[in-house]
Amino acid sequence: MPSQGQGPMKAPNEVADVWQAEFEFAYERVPGGLLTLTMHPEVTGRGGRLRSLEQLLDAWTSFPGVAIVRLDEFVERWRAAHPRVG
């Protein structure tokens, strides 16, 4: 039977490294942008990964201009800063 999914589960630090790389790219190259992480239960539903995510979120919010918000809140802020003309 063919294997399914992404293969063996990665260690929490490997998952955190991927998320950190995504953040660094977005912060450095897309000022004022949005970073969306897709989190599947099989990846985040484990204690070690949740702890890694919490640590990353704490670290990221120490960067100027970074806020952790729901997508609808981001959209409201963006619309307020970029009103439609015409």
What is the number of domains present in the chain? 1
Q: How far apart are CA 57 and CA 63, in angstroms?
A: 10
Q: Read off the pLDDT of each residue in 36-65 and give the average, rounded to a whole number.
A: 87
Write the pLDDT tens digit of every residue in 1-50.
445 555 667 787 888 899 999 999 999 999 888 998 887 777 677 788 88
In a domain, 73, yes or no: yes
Q: How confident is residue 67, by pLDDT bands cut at 50, 70 and 90? A: very high
Q: Is 43 helix (H, G, I), strand (E, B) or coil?
A: helix
Q: What is the pLDDT of residue 60?
A: 96
Nearest Cα to Cα of residue 23 among 55, 45, 46, 50: 55
Structural domain for 75, as ranges: 12-20+41-81
Q: Is the dihedral of CA 49, 52, 58, 64 positive or negative?
A: negative
Q: With respect to residue 4, please indicate whether it lies within any of the assigned structural domains.
A: no
| Per-residue DSSP letter, 82 | S
**Long-range CB contacts (< 8 A, 24+ apart) of 23-28?**
23/56, 23/60, 27/63, 27/66
